[in-house]
Amino acid sequence: MNAKEIRKYVLIGKIINSKPQDAELPTWFAELAQTDFTTAFEVWEFMLLGFSKDLADIMIATNIETQVFQIFAVQSETKTRQLLSASDPLIRLIYGACATSCTSANLATLVHFILSAKLECADVALAAIRSNTTGDFGERMRIIVDSVFKTYCESKGVKKCELTRKQSALLLEYIGKIKGPNKMLLTQRIKEL
């Protein structure tokens, strides 16, 4: 076993034996991800699962979800999306249990799933968001739709968003489940496409 492998196991030990609010946690994940990205991602899923009841606390969710997700996305957006799309339980934790659902890197990844036609992943995430009790579902859907429109227009250099029938149908399905003022507004925005 070489020094790099030893360091990897030391980091895994530190992470697994830490508390979700430990300030060093994102730093350890960053180092572990540079050493072994896939293992770091698996350890992250293990930690989120182990502290799933604590993820409703915004401070804990910011430390263990938002900051760590951002680290992974910066190091390799493609690998992050690949590994996340392969794990429905992880998608459910991030979008369904975290107080930080639909913010930062997890929002950008969800928007990517919708726009890249990875609709099965988007569907799992949207279902989880609907069941998330840490925030208002209608407000989160407004944020998602705004982000989809903005990301599409910026990436294509256009002023008007265009979605496929399947993308529109998926968004309308979840918009239809909103209770409150955002339902009519968002339905109208999607139908105008």
Asked if the model's pLDDT at residue 117 lies above 80, the reply is no
pTM of the model: 0.94
**187 pLDDT exceeds 90?**
yes
Q: pLDDT-based confidence at 118, cuts 50/70/90?
A: confident
pLDDT mean across residues, the chain: 96
Alpha helices by DSSP H, listed for 51-157, are: 58-61, 67-75, 77-85, 88-96, 104-115, 119-131, 137-156
Other C-beta atoms closer than 10 Å to the C-beta of 174 total: 21
**pLDDT > 90: percent of the chain:** 96
pLDDT tens-digit map of 102-114 = 999 999 999 999 9
pLDDT score, position 32: 98
39-73 pLDDT per residue, tens? 999 999 999 999 999 999 999 999 999 999 999 99
> In this structure, which amino acid lies at residue 102?
C
Model confidence pLDDT, tens digit, residues 119-165 = 999 999 999 999 999 999 999 999 999 999 999 999 999 999 999 99
162 Cβ contact list (under 8 Å, min separation 6): 152, 193
Say if residue 181's pLDDT is above 90: no
Domain boundaries, the chain: 1-96
Reference 141, options 159, 160, 125; nearest CA is 125
Q: What is the pLDDT of residue 153?
A: 97
Give the pLDDT of residue 71. Answer: 98
Name the nearest CA neighbour of 44 among 28, 23, 24.
Answer: 28
